Amino acid sequence: MNAVFETGGGEILSRLPDRAEAWAVLTQYNKNEFHLRHALTEESVMRWFAAELGHGDEADFWALVGLLHDLDFEGWPGQHCHKTEALMRELDWDERLIHAVVSHGYGLVTDVKPEHEMEKILFATDELTGLIGAAAIIRPSRSVMDLELKSVKKKFKTENFAAGCSRAVIKRGAAMLGWELDKLMEWTIRAMRASEEEINAFFVPDSAGFPVQHGDDA
C-alpha cells in the first residue's frame, strides 16, 4: 500500500501505513492474545467482504481498517476511538483511515457516522465476529467450520450468552447495510471460515500450553 500524498514541495500530507508498519504499531499497544486475535479476525473479515462486494482493488485498505480499528482499546478503553484518532494523527495517517476507524464507535463513543460501505461492514461485523467466535469455541470442534447459521441465531437470542457482544449494534449494522440479519450472519460466518486456520496457526501453543506468537507477521 504505502500510499503517500505529497505537495509539490515534497511535504508529506498524510499516508497509509503498509501491513508491516500497521502491525508494528498495533503490537506496540496491544499485547493480549484476545485483542490481537480480534484485530486479525477483523482484518481478514474485511478483506473477505471487500472481495465479495466487488471492491477487490480496495481490499488492502479494508483489511488495514479492520486490523487497526481497536488500536487503543487495550491501553485506553475509556478513550476508545478518540485515542486511536490522536495516535493516528501523530503518525500523519490518512484521514480516510481515521474516519473509518472512528466511525465504528458511532452512537457509542463517537458521533462519526459510518458512511462508506466499508465502514458499515466494520460496524456490523465488529460485535458479530465476537458472538460467532464465542459460539464456535464451545463446539466440540472449537471451530467455525461446522458452525451453522441457526446456531448463531439461537445464541444471538440468548441474551446472557457472550453478553458483551451488543445485539443492538449488530442489528443496527445490518440495518445500515440494508441487509437482513440472516444475511449478515451467514456472510460473516463464511468470512470467518476463510481465515480461521491461518489465524489459529499464528497463535501456536508453547510447551506449557500458553499461546505464543510465532512471528512478526500474520
Residues that bind Fe ion (CB under 5 A): 70, 126
Nearest to 120 by CA among 63, 174, 79, 191: 174
Length reported for the chain = 218
Residue 166 one-letter amino acid: S
Kind of pairing between the strands at 12-15 and 4-6 = antiparallel
Angle between helices 95-102 and 82-90 (to 10 degrees): 170
Nearer to Fe ion, 56 or 77 (CB): 77
Q: How far is the CB of 62 from Fe ion (least distance, A)?
A: 14
Q: How far is the CB of 11 from Fe ion (least distance, A)?
A: 34
Nearer to Fe ion, 14 or 49 (CB): 49
Q: How far is the CB of 22 from Fe ion (least distance, A)?
A: 15
Contacting residues for 196 by C-beta, under 8 A, at least 6 apart: 143, 144, 145
Nearer to Fe ion, 94 or 126 (CB): 126
Q: How far is the CB of 38 from Fe ion (least distance, A)?
A: 6
Nearer to Fe ion, 14 or 70 (CB): 70
Could you tell me if 146 and 139 are in contact, meaning their C-beta atoms sit under 8 angstroms apart?
Answer: yes
Q: How far is the CB of 87 from Fe ion (least distance, A)?
A: 16
Kind of pairing between the strands at 211-213 and 203-205 = antiparallel
Radius of gyration of the chain (CA): 17
178 to 66, 170, 181: CA distances (angstroms): 21, 12, 9
Strand partners, 78: none
Nearer to Fe ion, 72 or 126 (CB): 126
Nearer to Fe ion, 58 or 70 (CB): 70
Could you tell me if 131 and 108 are in contact, meaning their C-beta atoms sit under 8 angstroms apart?
Answer: no
Q: How far is the CB of 73 from Fe ion (least distance, A)?
A: 7
